[in-house]
């Protein structure tokens, strides 16, 4: 194993440790997350993304993708 690969593995494990520590320190705030969701939804409506003109548009692709992923 080369020195570069070893550095990547060490960095990867340090990054994993850091991410796990950050997740453990943070707490979930339901109401804050709901506020973010509602804000994003309102922005999507203003941009004309929602409501969908044809909710079934592209359903064939979704079904095919689901079939492939669930094999």
- Number of domains observed in the structure of the chain: 1
What pLDDT is attached to residue 44? Answer: 92
pLDDT tens for each residue of the chain, 71 residues long: 565 666 666 677 888 888 889 888 888 889 999 999 999 999 999 998 887 888 888 899 999 999 999 87
What pLDDT is attached to residue 67? Answer: 92
What pLDDT is attached to residue 4? Answer: 64
What pLDDT is attached to residue 1? Answer: 52
Instruction: Report residue 49 as tokens.
Output: 């993304």
Token pair 């850091």 is found at: 18
Residue span of the structural domain in which 48 resides = 3-69
Compute the CA torsion angle 31, 36, 40, 41 (nearest 10 deg).
Answer: 0
């Amino acid at each position: 194993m080369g020195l570069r690969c070893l550095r990547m593995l060490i960095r990867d494990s340090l990054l994993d440790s850091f991410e796990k520590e950050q997740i453990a320190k943070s707490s979930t705030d339901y109401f804050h997350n709901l506020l973010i969701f509602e804000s994003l939804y309102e922005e999507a409506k203003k941009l004309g993304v929602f409501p969908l003109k044809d909710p079934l548009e592209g359903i064939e692709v979704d079904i095919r993708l689901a079939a492939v992923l669930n094999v």
